[in-house]
Amino acid sequence: MPELERDENLIARCLEHDEEAWRMLVERYASYVHTIAVRAFGFNEEDAREVLQESMVKVFEGLPGYRGEGTFRAWLRQVVLNVCAAHLRRVRPGEALSDRMADRGQEEMLEQTERAHILALALRELDEPCQQIVALFFFQGKSYKEIADALAIPEGTVASRLARCLMKLRSKVQQVP
């Protein structure tokens, strides 16, 4: 599986009107934007989709002004927070933003969303056998015996393979743009 193209490269290509780069950038961050809308602001699916669309329009319009100070993800997060706040004011004009969420809770949720986004990107970069064993153990909660049976490998191999895959995953997490 190819390495993830760095955000800076995608942004440069987007600024040159490369539609494939824009598609890749949107695909990379769509779930991140959606998660912020749902978890930080409590939007339903319809509102979250509207926030996603509006956020991507704002990113597209604002990309020429992006100076590259800090990470793109941090810049995008601020765009999304602004779009969410504006959307909330439109759909619930009488509700104060401070009534909607506590700052500390919001920051913690945004940090969790950030970590989950980075992990998801890194997981996609693992080869299929590693994706499979990590998913079986961590996401499906299977025991070593159940994994061994599912993959038709010795139970002792599960531990060593999982350890190798986690080392690969750690390396991929550090490489995520």
> What residue spans define the domains of the chain?
1-118, 126-177
pLDDT tens profile 109-127: 777 777 777 788 788 888 9
Torsion angles phi and psi, residue 29, rounded to 5: -110, 0
Six-digit token pair at 51?
């926030």
* Vertex 34: Cα angle to 28 and 39 (nearest 5): 130
- CATH level 2 (architecture), domain 126-177: Orthogonal Bundle (1.10)
Instruction: Name the CA radius of gyration of the chain, rounded.
Output: 19
pLDDT for the residue numbered 151: 92
CA atoms within 13 A on the CB side of 148: 11
> How sure is the predictor about 106, in pLDDT bands with cuts at 50, 70 and 90?
low
Count of C-beta atoms within a 10 Å radius of residue 129? 13
pLDDT of 101 above 70:
no
pLDDT tens profile 124-175: 888 999 999 988 888 888 899 999 999 999 998 999 998 999 899 888 888 7
pLDDT for the residue numbered 177: 61
| CATH, range 1-118 | 1.10.1740.10
Residues ≥6 apart with Cβ < 8 Å to 75:
66
pLDDT of 32 above 80:
yes
pLDDT of 102 above 50:
no
Query: When comparing pLDDT for 21 and 94, which is higher?
Result: 21
* Average of per-residue pLDDT across 1-30: 86
Q: Reduce the DSSP state of residue 17 to 3 states and report it.
A: coil
**H helices present in 36-154, as ranges:** 45-62, 72-91, 97-100, 103-125, 128-134, 144-151
pLDDT of 2 above 50:
no
Count of C-beta atoms within a 10 Å radius of residue 107? 12
pLDDT tens profile 40-88: 888 899 999 999 999 999 999 999 999 888 789 889 989 998 999 888 8
* Distance of alpha carbon 80 from alpha carbon 26, whole angstroms: 13
* Distance of alpha carbon 75 from alpha carbon 118, whole angstroms: 16
Q: How far is CA 83 from the centre of its chain?
A: 18
Identical topology for domains 1-118 and 126-177: no
pLDDT for the residue numbered 1: 36
